[in-house]
Amino acid sequence: MTPLELLWSGWRSSYVTGLAAQQDGASVFESILSSGRSDEETHIVHRGELVFVVMNLYPYGVGHMLVLPNRRVADLEELTPAETTALWATVTVAVRVAKAALTCSGVNVGLNLGAGAGGSVPEHLHVHVVPRWVGDANFMTATANTRTLPEALPVTAAKLRDGWASA
């Protein structure tokens, strides 16, 4: 491995160890939802009766949201009919909010179900909603396996939270 392949993210260690300490068998998402911390601190942009929306702390791009059921469920077929309806209705609103609040020109929506599909938290399904702009990819991902994000997560979360309030 060459030194150019390393990117130090010291802040990530305290985040990961802090979540591990508070999980007590819960998924990372259950821990976030039940932490008692403010939505601003946890980067939750929307809470619904059956689902919630949180910013991805390791985003593919600016505004990367995760829409997921409040209850830990690994597979789509484990969702109740009400959870299924709430999940997809919330994904639709998340797309609308991303377009309005961030003026993106496109949105990627997707799931990775199970570890074999690349799911990083396979025990708690989540739908990725990733705003996109023409030309938003650059050489950093291809040459340095690094993403550049031009806006801080709390700033983007505030825009999306405000957008959600008016959606």
Q: Which residues are catalytic?
A: 126
Give the dihedral of Cα atoms 89, 92, 96, 98; nearest 10 deg. Answer: 110
Query: Using an 8 Å Cβ cutoff, are 75 and 113 in contact?
Result: yes
What is the phi/psi pair of residue 55, to 5°?
Answer: -70, 145
Dihedral of alpha carbons 137, 140, 102, 37, sign: positive
For residue 54, what is the enclosing H or E element?
A: strand 51-55
